[in-house]
């Protein structure tokens, strides 16, 4: 398996801390978030690691990692960054798509490897306590995540959804693409890019603006089955200044162990 870490964005909602460095370089528990991810991936046996850089690209420079750069990072979103690494979709290996501002315990990666679906997304079905601790209400900042009885994803990524019938879990960032499907995924992207790069494609967004959940919904709309890797906690994201500050507080108090064991990422 090869991992592609998306680290091109500015992280505008982390602006107190990202004026001088990319969000993936924010220190936590004694090391940058990206270093924690790289350590985890290598422990899981993933040696082929790719990082897509953009904002302050010169400040990301880990050894034994392959790099691509999204030079238009300021005007594009995650999906455009992902396909800056187009050569990696050659069908030679499975792909795990990761975010620079999200960390996971090893068991999450191991579960994805074991289940080994053609296409899948890590979905936390036990996220409410974490979300409430972050935001005060587990329904805040919610996106649709509705699962079919067979565990496949029916819909995902619609913002500001509060209907519990459409909130079966929470996107935990990791997306798996089997080597069999990697060339198909690339072909699909090229097709939608050729027509919708600057005009609405899904959820009112053009292809240059879409994020990973938009892309997954497009796969589903295309008739592809995207399975949920159903996890229970063991991950954390750093989307805002408050997320980062809370995590630092939780490390001091020990509360962070309710959500993730950082010692496993050292």
* Amino acid 18: pLDDT: 93
| Predicted TM-score (pTM) above 0.95 | yes
- Number of other CB atoms surrounding residue 239 within 10 Å: 16
CA triplet 86, 118, 54: central angle to 5 degrees? 30
Q: Torsions phi, psi of 181, nearest 5?
A: -90, -15
* Amino acid 119: pLDDT: 98
Q: Which of 183, 218, 204 shows the shortest CA–CA distance to 79? A: 218
State which fold the 2-124+171-199+225-265 domain adopts.
Spore Coat Polysaccharide Biosynthesis Protein SpsA; Chain A (3.90.550)
Mean pLDDT of 78-98: 98
- Cα–chain-centroid distance for residue 110? 16
Mean pLDDT of 36-55: 95
- Determine how β-strand 95-99 pairs with β-strand 2-7: parallel
pLDDT digits (tens, 9 = 90+) for 191-240: 999 999 999 999 999 999 999 999 999 999 999 999 999 999 999 999 99
Q: Which of 105, 101, 143, 139 shows the shortest CA–CA distance to 17? A: 101
* Amino acid 154: pLDDT: 98
Structural domain boundaries in the chain: 2-124+171-199+225-265
pLDDT tier, 266 (very low <50, low <70, confident <90, very high otherwise): confident
**Burial state string for 85-118 with b = 16 or more CB within 10 A and e = fewer than 16:** beebbeeeebbbbbbbbbbbbbebbebbbeeebb
Cα separation, 210 vs 141, whole angstroms: 18
Which residue's entry shows tokens 């019938």?
165
Residue 241 confidence (pLDDT) above 90: yes
Q: What is the DSSP letter of 167?
A: B
For the CA atoms of 254, 257, 259, 263, what is the dihedral angle to 10 degrees?
120
Q: Report helix angle 182-196 to 212-221, nearest 10.
A: 100
Mean pLDDT computed over every residue of the chain: 96
Cα separation, 74 vs 57, whole angstroms: 12
Residue 158 confidence (pLDDT) above 90: yes
* Amino acid 11: pLDDT: 87
Query: Which of 56-65, 133-142, 172-181, 226-235 bottoms out in mean pLDDT, i.e. has the lowest?
Result: 133-142
* Amino acid 236: pLDDT: 97
Residue 118 confidence (pLDDT) above 90: yes
Partner residues linked to 28 by β-bridges: 31
CB 208 within 8 A of CB 75: yes
User: Which tokens go with 138?
Assistant: 């587990």
pLDDT tier, 64 (very low <50, low <70, confident <90, very high otherwise): very high
pLDDT tier, 12 (very low <50, low <70, confident <90, very high otherwise): confident
């Amino acid at each position: 398996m090869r991992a592609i870490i998306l680290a091109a964005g500015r992280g505008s909602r982390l602006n107190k801390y990202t004026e001088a460095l990319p969000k993936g370089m924010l220190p936590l528990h004694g090391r940058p978030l990206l270093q924690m991810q790289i350590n985890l991936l290598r422990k899981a046996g993933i040696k082929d690691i790719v990082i897509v850089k953009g904002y302050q690209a010169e400040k990301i420079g880990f050894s034994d990692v392959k790099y691509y750069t999204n030079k238009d990072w300021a005007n594009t979103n995650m999906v455009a960054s992902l396909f800056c690494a187009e050569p990696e979709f050659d069908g030679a290996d499975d792909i795990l798509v990761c975010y620079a501002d999200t960390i996971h315990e090893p068991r999450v990666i191991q579960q994805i490897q074991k289940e080994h679906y053609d296409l899948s997304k890590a979905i936390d079905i036990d996220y409410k306590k974490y979300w409430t601790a972050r935001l005060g209400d587990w329904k805040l900042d919610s996106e649709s995540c509705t699962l079919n009885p067979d565990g496949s994803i029916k819909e995902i990524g619609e913002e500001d959804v509060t209907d519990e019938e459409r909130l079966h879990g929470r996107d935990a960032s990791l997306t798996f693409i089997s080597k069999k499907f990697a060339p198909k995924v690339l072909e699909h992207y090229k097709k939608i890019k050729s027509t919708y790069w600057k005009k609405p494609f899904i959820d009112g967004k053009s292809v240059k603006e879409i994020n990973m959940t938009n892309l997954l919904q497009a796969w589903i709309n295309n008739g592809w089955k995207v399975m949920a890797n159903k996890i229970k906690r063991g991950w954390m994201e750093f989307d805002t200044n408050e997320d980062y500050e809370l995590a630092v507080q939780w490390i001091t108090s020990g509360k962070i162990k309710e959500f993730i064991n950082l010692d496993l990422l050292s």
